[in-house]
Amino acid sequence: MKPWILASIVLLLSGTALSWRYLSASDEGGTNSLVLPKFSTLAAKGQDTFNANCTQCHGVNAIGSDSGPPLVHDIYNPGHHGDAAFYRAAKLGSPQHHWSFGDMPPQPEVNDADMAAIIRFIRELQEANGIFYRQHQM
């Protein structure tokens, strides 16, 4: 087998495994492969606020649900969806893109201080699970 074919197969399988890891993470039934870090004080506050306002769509620990996408997913790395995108989505809502869950409605009960904490929670969770800034390529 030619080396470039083997390398392509390895990359494809690696990408599939990583995608499956993030898409299949679950708190139910003990199948959770999500790494939970020791959160900073701000992120712990964000986790509480997230649990009170966001879990019904984005799932516990942002792993997604039948109603909304996982935020612990590489599509939401800071190079593709920066912090401002999260602020905008909470304040103004967000039209459907990337996923088939429909539009996200605005979340007027979540203020800017709440969002700062929620974003810190999401970013620390992402980092613990290997999601870091990658420059977005169009």
Q: How many domains does the chain have?
A: 1
Residue bearing the bigger pLDDT, 20 or 138: 138
Is a pLDDT exceeding 50 seen at residue 25? no
Q: Is 26 exposed, middle or buried (0-12, 13-18, 19+ CB in 10 A)?
A: middle
CATH at 108:
1.10.760.10
For residue range 70-121, what is the model confidence (pLDDT) as tens digits? 999 999 999 999 999 999 999 999 999 999 999 999 999 999 999 999 999 9
Whether the pTM exceeds 0.85: the reply is: no
Question: How does pLDDT run across 30-57, given as a tens digit for each residue?
Answer: 345 899 999 999 999 999 999 999 999 9
Task: Residue 40: give the domain boundaries.
Answer: 35-128
Residue 104 β-bridge partners:
94
DSSP lists the bridge partners of residue 94 as 104
